[in-house]
Amino acid sequence: MASTGASRGGAASPRPPQGRSSRQDKYSVLLPTYNERENLPLIVWLLVKSFSESAINYEIIIIDDGSPDGTREVAEQLEKIYGSDRILLRPREKKLGLGTAYIHGIKHATGNYVIIMDADLSHHPKFIPEFIRKQKEGNFDIVSGTRYKGNGGVYGWDLKRKIISRGANFITQILLRPGASDLTGSFRLYRKEVLQKLIEKCVSKGYVFQMEMIVRARQLNYTIGEVPISFVDRVYGESKLGGNEIVSFLKGLLTLFATT
């Protein structure tokens, strides 16, 4: 599997030395959920399995935005099964958006690394040990899962979706030259302080928020490593990518182009 690192920036921002014992590292997974009653137990089970098999110290922070389908009740059951030191419930009253969910989650994270991912099983936790390995290998501030390089890929996309995705990525690479192959991906490992810093600086929403994080990270001379991942789109029956989303993506892209 081809893992690629990105280039380093000029002046280095202070980076912790690599000699720190990996036994002291703790990984906090932020799981913002909305109506994930069915998927939540499965993703938690997979996370626990991946972490336990690799003897990694972890916690899973579930940030539920007042889901009406009973996600919270399921989360409470999971907390009982796996323990409240592993499963942290930090719900919110209503749907408030991803950026604020991350901020909320970080406040309660006791790990020194934070992993963000989707809770709908499109991201598989088995890649997390690879993220960790990659991070240690290059002492990266961020490790991003990429669908566009190496063994990375997608299941469940038709031709039209693939064209839009590759086309958008091409335009993004040309305009922003970001040094990362998958900007809209949301399966990433961050040093906690790096994530905190970046969220403070980011102003966009949705797909563009994820893009802006990487662009700002490059501005601040953070280093970014990449690991190929597989993305399993289980909602491929519905039209998840409407005209509206494309327009707002382009608007966001042009804004980043003109302001960074």
Partner 1 sequence: MLKLTQWLWGLGLLDSAWAALTMGALDLELSFPCQEVLWPLPAYLLVSAGCYALGIVGYSVATFHDCEDAVRELQSQILEAQADLTRNGLCF
Query: CB atoms < 10 A from the CB of 64, how many?
Result: 25
Q: By CB under 8 A, name the one of 56, 89, 96, 154 that touches partner 1.
A: 154
C-alpha span between 99 and 137 (Å, rounded): 29
Residue closer to partner 1, measured from CB, 19 or 68: 68
- In terms of Cβ atoms closer than 10 Å to its own Cβ (0-12, 13-18, 19+), residue 19 is exposed
Number of alpha carbons in the 13 Å side-chain half-sphere of residue 5 = 14
Q: Does 247 participate in binding partner 1 (rule CB under 8 A)?
A: no
- Subset of 120-139 contacting partner 1 (CB under 8 A): 121, 124
Residues contacting residue 197 through CB under 8 Å, at least 6 positions apart = 220
Q: Does 42 participate in binding partner 1 (rule CB under 8 A)?
A: yes
C-beta of 162: minimal distance to partner 1 in Å? 5
Q: Does 236 participate in binding partner 1 (rule CB under 8 A)?
A: no
Tokens coding 259: 């302001």
Q: Does 38 participate in binding partner 1 (rule CB under 8 A)?
A: yes
Q: By CB under 8 A, name the one of 30, 63, 114, 176 that touches partner 1.
A: 176
Q: By CB under 8 A, name the one of 51, 148, 209, 249 that touches partner 1.
A: 148
Q: Does 103 participate in binding partner 1 (rule CB under 8 A)?
A: no
DSSP at 123 = B
* Tally of residues, the chain: 260
Residue closer to partner 1, measured from CB, 74 or 117: 74
Residue closer to partner 1, measured from CB, 163 or 203: 163
